[in-house]
A = this chain, B = another copy of it.
């Protein structure tokens, strides 16, 4: 009966994330999906709001047979001004947990200093399934829909996500 955290920014949720979620769920009674950098949106690296990302996660997972959403909590967690306080602030916002699933070296370092148990999920075809690449493909009008779940793509289209990303891209280039 273990409780685990899986931490990501989910900009957007992609098939690599879904594999990691399945991997984590097989070892846990409850999985808490932490939607990181929750306060950021409308930026090139972080186009979607936490609410939109939660919608992607929920609408997608509910359509995947082997996942039982009763065992899942989805919690948005903002960054802290003082980086080194991040894991402590996280602890105030989520139920207590036994293990953290993450591949981010910084998160790993901060938790290791606190003697927390960390599992690094195998990255599923990382080159292919990465948020950065998917956002690039969206801007370059290349294939992105095969890299995300059908239900995730539906959410992105309903919120005019591609249009928003193009705008952020345009603005970024004007400023740099």
Contact = CB atoms under 8 A, between A and B. Distances in A.
A133 interface: no
A92 to B, nearest CB: 4
Interface residues of A, number: 47
Residues of A contacting B: mostly: helix
Contact of A106 (B42, B75, B76): B42
Given A83-B41, A106-B168, A106-B171, A51 B89 contact: no
A134 interface: no
Interface in A126-176: 164, 167-168, 170-171, 174
Contacts of A18: none
Given A43-B83, A70-B62, A164-B109, A96 B55 contact: yes
Given A38-B93, A52-B95, 13 more contacts: A41-B83, A42-B106, A51-B95, A51-B96, A54-B73, A58-B95, A62-B70, A74-B75, A85-B88, A105-B167, A105-B174, A106-B167, A106-B168
